[in-house]
Amino acid sequence: MKQNFIIEAKNNLPSLLKAQQLPVILDFWAPWCGPCQQLNPVLETLAKAYAGKIQIIKINIDDNQVGVNEYSIKSIPNLIFINAQKERTIALVGYQTLEALKQKVKETFGLNE
């Protein structure tokens, strides 16, 4: 059985967030965005490293204007960290390395692999 390390949000972002009990990283992206495509394998590795500790939710900006407007997304890739209390903590814009993301997960959520 394949585990869902990363969830793709369609028009259900509010319900996905409400259902989450773990800290969440929202990944606002688009298929035509080169840096977004480069970030995909980094996020997959991060999701596996923190399986059961964080949830990554991908939001295609072309298909989800509600999420784009709600979070005032102006540039992509855009990663928004939301803690377990559903509070927005930080946003990172642009490509991020795996090491940088692990450091942000540690700083923001207090989690190690």
Q: Does domain 6-109 have CATH number 3.40.30.10?
A: yes
- Dihedral, CA of residue 99, residue 102, residue 103 and residue 107, to nearest 10: 170
Residue 58 confidence (pLDDT) above 50: yes
Residues marked active site are found at 33, 36
Collapsing DSSP to helix, strand or coil, 57 comes out as strand
- Decide if pLDDT at 2 tops 50: no
pTM of the complete model: 0.91
Question: pLDDT (tens digit, 9 = 90+) per residue, 67-93?
Answer: 888 899 999 999 999 998 888 899 999
Domains of the chain, by residue range, sit at: 6-109
pLDDT of residue 39: 97
